[in-house]
């Protein structure tokens, strides 16, 4: 009997990925079906549906599920779920598809899945805007009623993604045929929930924390992981290896940085590195909830939530991603609740007077005594060839990042938000 937290939804791991003869037969059938071109985000969602990362989902959401998730943080059946998982298609494609039809979902020439269409529903501009306001609008300066739509279309990648969707959504269960190039490109890093759970079991872990990463691991991330190691059996350093926004550092570089840190600064028995195949949505508090939801499927029961988790720009309050966990619905059925709890950690930094890493809860000094650490600030300094302050990152990691930026032919301007710059610190 496993001591790990059970998968979300009360149905065990729901894995839609086919294998063996069943896979070969479905691949052959897929070639005869109408092909719908999907986005990178939908591709990542499909792979998560395939490996059980999105349990208990077995396909893309109906309109009732979509509306309930946006409005109530639950599927139509009452199961907690924080972010829509939908598959868009053009009006022309939707008009040629009937409910009950089977279709093939294709990305860049590869068929990733087949889907039996249970519903098709139009997404008007008003529907998309409503979704954006529910999912991406926070409590930060950029989310003010008189400002959100003036800046979001230019500055919020998640809003751009939703507003750029085609005119209809298709719902229905899927049969996943491919994990793309993740198993080969990130061999040893890309791991399924089944594989990660087996690693936890082998080590005898039952109280496990996850550290979400989309930026290179700096001293603050290292500190967060080590705090969690002190109070849990171990930590999963879990990096996003899907698509990011322009200017973010690619996964292979980040993985190399984490490898270096684990080699030199961690007790290896207490930490596991892995990657997952989603694209970032930059949904701040809602995405923090999504991170906890699918981490539960990986066997994680504590999600590290620090400052401005999964945020972008100044759309979210500094600790809004922590506070939202206190307001989510608690379904009567325990299987339908979110069981992965937040491990809330205050703003962390290096303090010269404390002579070490500290947080707002432990350091009595002023921000002038502190090195404000953030992935955005690090990327901006490296992209501009600026000097990196002492204690910002480990020398071995900074050497990897400098090498990456020195060989970069196209550079993207990195915008600083209040939290990343340290201006928001009192």
Could you write out the DSSP letters of every residue in 12-43? -----B--HHHHHHHHHHHTTSEEEE--HHHH
Q: Which of 41, 197, 215, 307 is catalytic?
A: 215
215 tagged catalytic:
yes
CA distances from 240 to 4, 214, 277, 282, 387 (A): 23, 6, 6, 12, 27
Q: Which of 197, 214, 286, 337 is catalytic?
A: 214
Distance from the Cα of residue 421 to its chain's centroid: 23
Could you write out the DSSP letters of every residue in 137-196? --SSGGGSTTTHHHHHHHH-HHHHHHHTS-SEEEEEEEEE---TTHHHHTTTTB--HHHH
Q: Which of 47, 34, 191 is nearest to 103 (CA)?
A: 34
379 tagged catalytic:
no
Question: Which stretches of 90-148 are assigned E, i.e. beta strand?
Answer: 102-107, 110-116, 119-122
CA dihedral 131, 137, 138, 141 (to 10 degrees): 180
Residue positions annotated with a catalytic role: 214-215
């Amino acid at each position: 009997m496993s001591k790990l937290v059970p998968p979300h939804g009360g149905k065990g791991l729901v894995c839609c990925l086919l294998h063996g003869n069943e896979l070969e037969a479905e691949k052959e059938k897929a070639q005869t079906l109408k092909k719908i071109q999907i986005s990178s985000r939908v591709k990542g969602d499909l792979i998560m549906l395939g490996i059980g990362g999105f349990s208990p989902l077995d396909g893309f959401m109906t309109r009732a599920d979509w509306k309930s998730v946006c409005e109530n943080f639950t599927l139509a059946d009452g199961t907690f779920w924080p972010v829509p998982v939908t598959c868009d298609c053009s009006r022309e494609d939707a008009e040629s598809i009937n409910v009950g039809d089977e279709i093939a979902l294709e990305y860049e020439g590869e068929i990733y899945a087949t889907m039996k269409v249970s519903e098709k529903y139009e997404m008007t501009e008003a529907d998309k805007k409503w979704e954006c306001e529910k999912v991406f609008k926070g409590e930060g300066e950029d989310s003010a009623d008189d400002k959100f739509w003036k800046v979001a279309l230019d500055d919020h990648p998640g809003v751009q993604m939703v507003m750029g969707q085609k005119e209809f959504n298709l719902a229905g269960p899927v049969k996943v045929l491919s994990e793309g190039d993740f198993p080969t490109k990130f061999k040893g890093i890309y791991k399924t929930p089944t594989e990660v759970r087996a690693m936890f079991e082998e080590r005898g872990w039952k109280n496990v924390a996850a550290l979400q990463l989309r930026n290179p691991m700096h001293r603050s991330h290292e500190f967060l992981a080590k705090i969690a190691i002190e109070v849990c059996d171990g930590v999963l350093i879990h990096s996003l290896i899907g698509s990011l926004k322009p200017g973010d550092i690619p996964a292979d570089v980040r993985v190399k940085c984490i490898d270096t840190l684990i080699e030199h600064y961690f007790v290896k028995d207490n930490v596991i590195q892995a990657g997952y195949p989603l694209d970032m949505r930059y949904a701040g508090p809602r995405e923090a909830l999504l991170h906890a939801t699918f981490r539960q499927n990986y066997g994680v029961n504590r999600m590290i939530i620090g400052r401005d988790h999964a945020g972008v720009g100044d759309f979210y309050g500094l600790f809004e991603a922590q506070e939202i966990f206190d307001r989510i619905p608690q379904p009567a059925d325990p299987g339908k609740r979110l069981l992965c709890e937040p491990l809330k950690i205050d703003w962390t930094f290096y303090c010269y007077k404390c002579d070490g890493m500290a947080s707002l809860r432990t350091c009595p000094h002023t921000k002038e005594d502190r090195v404000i650490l953030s992935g955005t600030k690090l990327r901006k300094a490296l992209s501009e060839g600026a000097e990196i302050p002492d204690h910002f990152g480990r020398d071995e990691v900074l050497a990897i990042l400098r090498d990456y930026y020195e060989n970069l032919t196209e550079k993207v301007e990195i915008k600083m938000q209040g939290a990343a710059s340290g201006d928001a610190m009192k």
